[in-house]
Amino acid sequence: MKKFISAVTILTAALCLSTSVSAQAQHKVYDTAEVLSVQDETMLEELAENLALSHGVDAMICTERSLDALPEERAKSLFSSNDVGIGNSRDGILLLIWFEDDNPNYIIYQNGWADKVYTEYAAERIDELISQDIKKRDFAGAAQQLLKVSDKFMSAQEKGNPYSLDRPYRTSGDILRIWLLWVCIGAVVSCGICAALVAGMRKRTTNNVIYSAAPEKKSFAVTTQRDILLYTKISNDDGKEKLDDLKNSR
Amino acid sequence: MEFTEYHCPRCDKTLEREGEGLLCKFCGLNFDETRAGEFEREREYAEDDLAWNEYNSAGLLSGAVYFACDKCETNYAVPIEDGTPDAQSADVCCPLCGGMLLSVATTAPVPDLLLPFNCDRKAAEDAFSRFCKFKPLLPSKFTPHKNIKLLKKLYLPYWTAACTAQYKTRYDAVKRKKQRTDSEKSIQTDGFMALREGTAAYSGLLSSALSTAEDILTRDFSLEEGKPFDKMPDAIVAVPDIPAKQAQKELSELVGASMDKLLKGTVKGYSKKKRAAGRLCISDTHTNLALVPLWIISAEYKGRIYRFVMNAQNGKVSGELPYSKLKIASVFAICTAAISVVGTVLTLLL
């Protein structure tokens, strides 16, 4: 019985190892559309390898000139046919880029634990980040962005503190924008502080009181006070009266 | 009095005769001759009658030697002690601008009134230290400790005057009433001539007698404390350079403005009022020359003179201090950096 158990254990371990080795040994980038350079492919392979090592999540980047099926179905079929995914739950992500009338499109397919990481917030945020690169036809950049951002989201998930609307994921560009905004606010406030300090120093200047004469107490007396009515004029309104005046002057 | 020409009270154009009355073709207003004549009598007043007395000095200052500043050209009378000029006083630079004092041959009129020094040097030094306190932008080279040595005792000459003023004035005033009939709205404008005449007595009027120090002090001295001048005081005396007549002209304007303000206050119940003519008569005048005590620091910083002045009679201070552009830039940079860092961190954390 013991021999049987140890044999099964060895077999299972060998099977797992072979699966893992096969997952790690296979190519991570399939550039059928030929939009990536050799250097890009090497770089993306390395990033995907790192993701697999760090989080146990397989990653694959595929590009195709056109699709003969629905994008979701094609992505799923590529995921299955290429044996993407690590472990029993086949944890993995796949980025599929294809073209329609030469316009690039993309879809991200995720499976297993990766599916948990890709919450609605994460999907939206990743979409925001890589769609810019796709539009600019920087497909290597988009793929690189996906792998790097996935690494961040997965790390946060592993630490039990995932990114969400309450704890947003911020890129260095976002942080720079926030900092610049605060620099502007700081500059305005500082201008106010400097102006107040300068005004404080100039407050007690010599010319701030204008001298005016005042009569002695109880010496002022009005000796004549006559109000005489000189004329009365009735007009429809001020504007009409002015118009009449102008006509008369001509 | 009969007039050959009448003017419209509203627009001042010449009125034309139409039947028995007078018509302003510009305004379309009709006037009867009595009313137009009444306006004509008050239309223009004779020139102001300013009967200021001729100021005659009691003589020339004795017991003093004279110096003139080579920069602002102010003349000073410096007291002679024990038959020689006060060494300390004669050696000093100009109290008003810091220029060099050179001996000159001139004279100065004997003032009528001398106001007392109620604040001593210690009080002036303390006041200057307080004045410089909590001024973060003050240049580090402009230290109170260094400038306090420049504190000087000085008498400034002021013209003082008393008079009786009589003011006659005409205000053009209008009352506007909105009227509403069944068919239309209209505005009735009644034009008035408000005639006012009043008298008032003025005393303790003050005008600077020194052109280089016209506005360095607010004119709130108590002349009642003044004593008749009998001998040269133990402080530098600035020699007046503004003649009494020029000061009397300024004082006439101040008295006129004051009377106008008082009489305008009696013209009530109008929607609009405007002074149209006025005549000021000044009589019973007395003009004197008074010496006002002050403590002064005139310090130069980057080619500009900054003055600290203390009215030595009532202790009131005024003045201006320089500020360092480098310190302003530092405050700006530090505040901006602090706010931006704190703001960014708080935004990322919250």
> pLDDT, tens digit, for every residue of B86-96?
444 455 689 99
Compute the mean pLDDT over every residue in chain A, rounded to the nearest whole number: 82
**Is B347 within 8 Å of chain A by CB?**
yes
Torsion of CA B324, B326, B328, B330, to 10 degrees: -140
pLDDT recorded at residue A23: 44
Compute the mean pLDDT over every residue in chain B, rounded to the nearest whole number: 88
pLDDT recorded at residue A20: 44
Closest CA to B98 of B157, B155, B150, B136: B150
Burial class (CB in 10 A: 0-12, 13-18, 19+), B130: exposed
* Distance from the A182 Cα atom to the nearest Cα atom in chain B, whole angstroms: 4
Q: B31 near A233, Cβ under 8 Å?
A: no
> pLDDT, tens digit, for every residue of A45-70?
999 999 999 999 999 999 998 888 89
- DSSP state letters, B224-292: GG-EE--S--SSEEEPP-S-HHHHHHHHHHHHHHHHHHHHHTT--S-SEEEEEEEEEEEEEEEEEEEEE
pLDDT recorded at residue A13: 44
User: Strand B75-81 to strand B64-69: parallel, antiparallel, or no bridges (unpaired)?
Assistant: antiparallel
Which residues does chain B have within 8 Å of residue A187's beta carbon, measured at their own beta carbons? 332, 336
* CB-CB under 8 Å, A216 with B201: yes
**Is B65 within 8 Å of chain A by CB?**
no
> pLDDT, tens digit, for every residue of B167-197?
999 999 999 888 887 778 888 889 999 999 9
Q: B347 near B154, Cβ under 8 Å?
A: no
Q: B112 near B58, Cβ under 8 Å?
A: yes
> pLDDT, tens digit, for every residue of B57-69?
767 788 888 899 9
Give me the percent of chain A exceeding a pLDDT of 70: 81
* CB-CB under 8 Å, B193 with A227: yes
Q: What would the mean pLDDT of B126-133 be, rounded to a whole number?
A: 88
At A248, the amino acid letter reads N
* CB-CB under 8 Å, B336 with A221: no
**Is B29 within 8 Å of chain A by CB?**
yes
Q: What would the mean pLDDT of A145-166 be, rounded to a whole number?
A: 89
A-B contacts at Cβ under 8 angstroms:
206
Least confident stretch, A93-97, B9-13, B59-63, B69-73: B59-63
* CB-CB under 8 Å, B262 with A197: no
Main-chain phi, psi angles of A123, to 5 degrees? -60, -45
* Distance from the B30 Cα atom to the nearest Cα atom in chain A, whole angstroms: 8
**A-contacting residues in B 157-186 (Cβ below 8 Å):** 165, 168, 173, 179, 184-186
3-state secondary structure of A136: coil
As for the ipTM of the complex, it is 0.79
Tell me the pLDDT band of B113, cut-offs 50, 70 and 90: very high
Tokens of B94: 């100009």
Taking CA atoms, A159 is separated from A153, A162, B120, B227, in Å, by 10, 8, 75, 89
Tokens of B303: 């080619």
Least confident stretch, B109-123, B131-145, B157-171: B131-145
> pLDDT, tens digit, for every residue of A107-139?
999 999 988 888 889 889 888 888 989 998 999
Which residues does chain A have within 8 Å of residue B173's beta carbon, measured at their own beta carbons? 227
**Is B326 within 8 Å of chain A by CB?**
no
**Is residue B153 pLDDT above 50, yes or no?**
yes
